[in-house]
Structure 1
């Protein structure tokens, strides 16, 4: 089976990999010089990850902190640029350390070239991250 190449198909595939906790395969979906940005990241959290290795380092501990169960809401919007989509989604699960519920809504602007993510701007809610009981990225604050 060949890898999905349309932005929407690649994105859906990436969510399945996150649910399967297959971070190495998720990282393999990225271009070598991919860029991941978090424009609303609070102080002390990364705002920009440049390159597949930086993205891999950031994502590697993700399953140790969040046990994702589902993405019950997923809307993928096409743009006038066929390589770029806008995604609205909600991820739910549990925080592994505290067993508290995890429920986060995201909006992302994602660009794909040659079947790989090249740009991912993740507009997640920093207020949820600032809740002292919520530490779900594995990042040092």
Structure 2
């Protein structure tokens, strides 16, 4: 989260296993539902700082699971949309699995209806 707040996308990508998978189970039509491999995740995240200026992740809650390599994270990202200057406020639940210190699976459950909210000017070709 510190890396995303600092807009250090290359360092954030360094946390990923080469064959890590990022999934968006609630992705709306036209948005990717699954990214396979660090290269695909990198392409998706390339324009992230150009679209969203994250300021904070207030109220992060981490839940352990029966699998020591997997956690469930409840979080809220707040900031502003770069293009419009409008507010960004998104609640997420992520199921994150790690092996050898690298993300192997990241399932991102976010609200797909938010892409239609006023001020939330998202771009399909890059990160929310």
TM bucket (normalised to shorter chain) is: over 0.9
Matched, 1:33 2:37: no
Relative to its length, the structure with more helix (as a share) is 1
Report the equivalent of 2:125.
140
Report the equivalent of 1:120.
106
Matched, 1:42 2:28: yes
| Structure 2, unaligned runs of 5 or more | none
Matched, 1:70 2:56: yes
Matched, 1:131 2:112: no
What is the Cα deviation at residue 129 of structure 1? 1.4
What is the Cα deviation at residue 132 of structure 1? 5.9
Q: TM-score, normalised by structure 2?
A: 0.94
Report the equivalent of 2:70.
84
Matched, 1:107 2:69: no
Match of 1:21 among 7, 12, 27: 7
Residues 62-83 of structure 1, C-alpha deviation per residue, up to 9 Å, x if partnerless? 0000000000110000000000
Residue pair 2:87, 2:120 contacting (<8 A) in 1 also: no
Q: TM-score, normalised by structure 1?
A: 0.86
Aligned residues: 126
| Structure 1, unaligned runs of 5 or more | 1-14
Q: Which 4+ stretches in 1 moved above 4 angstroms?
A: none
